[in-house]
Amino acid sequence: MDGFGVVPLGIPGTPAPFTLHVPQPELNKLSVLIETAVVAAPSFYNTHSASDNPDHTFGAPRDWLANATGVWAGDFDWRAREAHWNTIPQFKMDVTAPSDGQVFDLHFAALFSRRADAVPVILSHGWPSSWFDCVAILELLAAKYTPDTLPYHVVAPSIPDYGLSTRSNATTTELNFYSAAEALNELMKGLGFNAYVAQGGDVGSGLTAALGAVHDECKAVHFNNFILTPSEKAAVANLPVSPAENATLVSAQEFTDSGTGYMLEQGTRPGLISLVLMSNPVAMLEWIGSMYTDGVNGAPLATILEQVSWYWHTKSYGSGLWAYRAVWAPFLRDTHSERLPSPLAIKAKPIGYSWYPREVLAAAQSWVEHWFPDNLVFFKAHEAGGHLAALEQPVAFLQDLEDFVAIVKTKIEL
């Protein structure tokens, strides 16, 4: 990563290099809590899962939790992972939101290019993810290019109120997609990028939709899923879909019908669930781990432990629930659509979409072509992958992103 952490000269902001280090007493405290945690007694519901019956989407089963807890207490090495992540240039920088004067202290990883024509790109992660989802992308780029040849400036933030990205009014004002996107736009401007490309999935999809719809500096957007209201999807329900797309849409509807209880809880009782889970790391492990074991996202246990540890050490599980406060009613009840930025509002900027067969926020190619008849410049269907595409399929994901940026450069000035 030598040379990729050199910030462009003459920028308005003042990013400070950052090294991740959790104090040892905090690691010791977590170890004690894990080792003394109680795994509940067996019952029908905690000994069955979707792996033995599609109707048993009850959560990660008891045996999984017991094993994961043992690995977390024993073989999991946070310090080794810190050392790995710290090979990637990281920074913190304050930005002020023009709308209300709120100050955001944003954490981000970045690869900076020395090329004058490098295209700035911001990658926004989702939940229960973090900037860790982008690590493989950044490493692939660093292996493929040098600072002199890298065609992009790539910024991968901890999105506002997640991880180490905090703000001045955290206990007095509620965040939403529009104010969080405003902070990310100010981050890009502070880095000297007044024209950039945005990419996002999951919560990052909503942020990318807001960036593309509201902020002139965002010139093009790429998605790997859309967060849409039932009405938006119903309007295209009669368009033709391929057999593969139909299978994905059926699976996505099953997820909506039986797998979104967590969304309702996080959206309607965020204080309750955050206080419960932030008092017990093993409870948080079960809650977040269930998002992976029920098939929504694909990830090995090591990755799940990394993500849960990150939420625990940064104390950010509760603050990150603003996204579900905004999403649950539009997505599940088709009400309060104004809370959810719609990608369909982006009519004049180039749009790209990558389709993955295990996506739970699924769309068909005919839908995307219908929504964006004049500005869809890239669509790619993949044979493998799901909701967390950057994490699951980093090589294919990066290729799509590079192909999209190459097309965009021929259409607009960046």
Q: Considering 152, 222, 387, 400, which one is annotated as catalytic? A: 387
User: CA 243 to CA 249: how far, in whole Å?
Assistant: 10
- Distances from the Cα of 254 to the Cαs of 37, 45, 94, 279, 298, in angstroms? 33, 19, 42, 32, 17
Q: Considering 196, 292, 324, 356, which one is annotated as catalytic? A: 324
Spatial CB neighbours of 149, under 8 Å, sequence gap ≥ 6: 113, 115
The answer to whether the Cα torsion of 227, 140, 91, 281 is positive or negative is positive
Spatial CB neighbours of 164, under 8 Å, sequence gap ≥ 6: 18, 92, 107, 158, 314, 316
Q: Is 33 helix (H, G, I), strand (E, B) or coil?
A: helix
Question: Is 75 a catalytic site residue?
Answer: no
Q: Considering 202, 294, 313, 356, which one is annotated as catalytic? A: 202
User: CA 163 to CA 154: how far, in whole Å?
Assistant: 19
Question: Is 387 a catalytic site residue?
Answer: yes
Tokens representing 9 are 């000269």
Spatial CB neighbours of 177, under 8 Å, sequence gap ≥ 6: 206, 207, 209, 210, 323, 326, 339, 340, 341
Question: Can you give the length of the chain in residues?
Answer: 414
CA-angle at 265, arms to 260 and 267, nearest 5°: 95
Spatial CB neighbours of 192, under 8 Å, sequence gap ≥ 6: 8, 10, 11, 12, 13
User: CA 386 to CA 369: how far, in whole Å?
Assistant: 21
- Distances from the Cα of 195 to the Cαs of 192, 206, 365, in angstroms? 9, 19, 28
* Peptide bond connecting 128 to the previous residue in cis, omega within 30 degrees of 0: yes
Question: Is 2 a catalytic site residue?
Answer: no
Q: Residue 371 burial (CB < 10 Å; 0-12/13-18/19+)?
A: buried
User: CA 64 to CA 55: how far, in whole Å?
Assistant: 18
Q: Is 162 helix (H, G, I), strand (E, B) or coil?
A: coil
Alpha helices in 59-176 (DSSP H): 62-73, 78-85, 135-144
Q: Are 302 and 84 in contact (CB under 8 A)?
A: no
Active site residues: 202, 324, 387
